[in-house]
Structure 1
């Protein structure tokens, strides 16, 4: 198969391309980027004669669609919602099946901080999302939505937990990319950048859709905080989690749950630091005047702080997941938990976030290319990767050193646990 990677010069996209280039059933990997130097660097790092470089601005529709015509599957690792939806529109038009890693369920576009996403006139966001889904179905396109770490792998494990129970009542996803404990001590907010810091701050500031009492409601940003000890893989790490707007597809595909929320995991102290920044107005987007210039506080803050959050030489990161599904099995209260603690590949030089996100997308793209995922339209990870396909997906990740621990046990904690 021939796979085309948009955003292939970034960390996530280049990691997906690296993995795809080493797969026997992939004969060519196209990397799309706007800059020649970035494309050459990515190709040199990947080091495979399967790589083909395409200098192309996704905003140029004609050239992008002609490029899509020459490939079997796409991987979209694009930086914002505007470009992600643009790529989806063109993929539908060219009947290119694709995997997208953005934290967005394209059937239900988020209405907060739209990042330049334009809804066609005369349509609500939901109507636009449904129209995309219907057009993709009509064109026989599989668009696997939010297929990275979280959303993606995390969705698949929540779906798995629900499938293992006779009935499920509540689910909580606790996921995050954090620096190693040693690295956290060297940086403000006990945090290092593993993906777009500006996009992470967006998630800290907008209301999050959650399920409460079987209804979709909006929860305040970073609410329902939880301290817990991660106990798996020989670890005993104290962590904190707060509600953010990730993994939104589960609100619609598993709407029979009474409770569901996704929470972002951080080291203790991070959320207190964010609270102080919010209270001071430093994360606001409303323009303000500073020394005769109009600035947006959050943009200014990112420009000052992001360099201090970049990993120092030798520092690593971790992808952590602790997901729980509560319900009944055989007439008894039961729960299913999934744990992940994945670090970087220091030999190859791939961060934990790039490995878990990029490799998850690459594995799923190959499943689409082999026609193992048959659903058409905008498809959520929990609907596409289940049953025997879930087992094969996990086997692929295990071979890459990404191991998820699954535990089924009687439930002794309250439903919120």
Structure 2
């Protein structure tokens, strides 16, 4: 354990110092905005490579708690020294390579942290690795397990995949399971979509609310699910369903299809007979994606065009990405409809959780940035206060449950993120 961590053990809660890696992006800056307004946070450090991005984030957040750190994460010594000056971290990094590297440095610094990437670091996904370097002689699973063991040895709590989905949605599924005497299956339906009015103005009835390249990755890689109590791989965007979202005064027809968004539940709740996570979109979106896939426009294998080798997906993103950016005045929505089936009191029962959250228009924060960033910020303060006791790589559904779940939901509700819980019998 570093000397800085030893020196911070007796710091008062009101003096919590939080370091945000990726704090100049939309999710990271939203988390920093929320943390800067928390009474138990004294300082929020924002890390970035470009001075312009750091200054823009600081001007927007507008708080004297903000400290800016121009730091390249590839420079490990400087990054670890920076981590030594903080009590807890939050990582909102753009890809798996940088996220895993940040985790390794946090372990070396004994810095407890929260990560928002759609990945369970204890079981790395083997598809489209995005530059993730697995040490020689190790399988991806062995590498993930070694990170967990190192974190346990160093007394580090690393709350993994703690945003919207994964994150809030995992916690919701875990809550549903806990409310039942026994659970047999669960389905998570989550997604960030444009408002209904905005959807009509864009191709694919979609606007970009986070990394478009990462969204397309989810549409192309095989997905791990639980079927018959076993982990198997299925085709992406399979098991489609139409459903009506009927809560919070909304009645909207939507579609959902299987994607790889909440992988930790396959292992932490592996006793379930059935589990899958599905991405929610407006009707018609997945049909458009089908055409693009069939035409090869989402492939990564380079093809020759006018004497140059190009990857079709990169070309597609460069052409279509700008057309999917929200126009002035357009908003987005985060949707969640999660279901857990099982038995309670000897009767068939189900637990449903609904969410329909729009942007924080007053602060100019999109719905996706609000739900993801604020969820991560609330959880980061729980980690910083040492309320989550588990060490190592901790899944959201294990870290936030029981009385912590109640407090977590209360905190989200204060931020305009309301989750409706319903328990039904005989269904």
Question: TM-score w.r.t. structure 1 length?
Answer: 0.99
Give the C-alpha shift of residue 383 in structure 1.
0.3
What is the aligned partner in structure 1 of residue 297 from structure 2?
A: 282
* 1:84 is aligned to 2:123: no
Preserved CA contact (<8 Å) 1:326 1:411: no
CA distance in 2 between partners of 1:346 and 1:139 (Å):
42
Partner in structure 1 of residue 133 of structure 2: 118
Q: Secondary structure at the match of 1:133?
A: helix
Task: From 47, 50, 64, give the equivalent of 2:65.
Answer: 50
Show CA shifts across 1:58-112 (max 9, x none): 1110110000000000000000000000000000000000000000000000000
CA deviation profile, 1:102-124 (whole Å, cap 9, x unmatched): 00000000000000001000000
Q: CA RMSD in A?
A: 0.4
Paired residues for 1:212-231 under 5 Å? 212-231=227-246
SS across alignment from 2:247:
coil
1:397 maps to: 412
Asked whether 1:35 is paired with 2:18, we answer no
In structure 2, C-alpha distance between the alignment counterparts of 1:295 and 1:320, rounded to whole Å:
35
Q: In 1, Cα distance between the equivalents of 2:52 and 2:138?
A: 40
Please tell me whether residue 180 in structure 1 is matched to residue 159 in structure 2. Answer: no
Q: SS at 2:197's partner residue?
A: helix
- Partner residue in 1 for 2:328: 313
Give the SS at the match of 1:140: coil
- Alignment partner of 1:363: what SS? helix
Give the match's secondary structure for 1:326: strand
Structure 1 residue aligned with 2:170: 155
Counterpart CA distance in 1 for 2:296 and 2:191 is: 25
| Aligned mates of 1:16, 1:245 — CA distance in 2 | 24
Distance in 2, matches of 1:205 and 1:118, equals 21
Instruction: Determine whether 1:344 maps to 2:344.
Output: no
CA distance in 2, matches of 1:260, 1:198: 26
Cα drift, residue 411 of structure 1: 4.0
Question: Could you tell me which of 297, 302, 306 is aligned with 2:312?
Answer: 297
Take 2:145 and 2:363, find their aligned partners in 1: how far apart are those partners?
A: 41
1:366 equivalenced with 2:404 (yes/no): no
Change (3 A) 1:411 1:55: farther
Question: TM-score scaled to structure 2, two decimals?
Answer: 0.96
Q: Does 1:69 align with 2:95?
A: no
| 1:260-307 alpha-carbon deviations (Å, 9 max, x no partner) | 000000000000000000000000000100011100000000000000
Residue of structure 2 equivalent to 1:236: 251
Distance 2:249 2:62 in 1: 35
In the alignment, the residues of structure 2 paired with residue 12 and residue 24 of structure 1 have an alpha-carbon distance, to the nearest angstrom, of 21
The answer (yes or no) to whether the contact 1:165–1:327 under 8 Å persists in 2 is yes
Corresponding residue SS for 1:262 = strand
* Structure 1, unaligned runs of 5 or more: 413-417
* Change beyond 3 A, Cα 1:56–1:328: same
Counterpart of 2:145 (choices 103, 107, 130) is 130
The one of 270, 274, 281 aligned to 1:266: 281
Q: Which residue of 1 aligns with 2:157?
A: 142
Q: Report how far residue 3 of structure 1 moved.
A: 0.1
Q: State the match for 1:415 in structure 2.
A: none
Where has structure 1 moved over 2 Å in runs of 4 or more? none
Counterpart CA distance in 1 for 2:145 and 2:312 is: 35
Match of 1:6 among 8, 21, 24: 21
Q: Quick one: distance in 1 between partners of 2:361 and 2:178?
A: 36
Preserved contact between residue 27 and residue 50 of structure 1 (Cα < 8 Å): yes
Q: Determine if the alignment matches structure 1 residue 16 to structure 2 residue 31.
A: yes
Question: How far is 1:410 from its partner?
Answer: 1.2
Partner of 1:197: 212
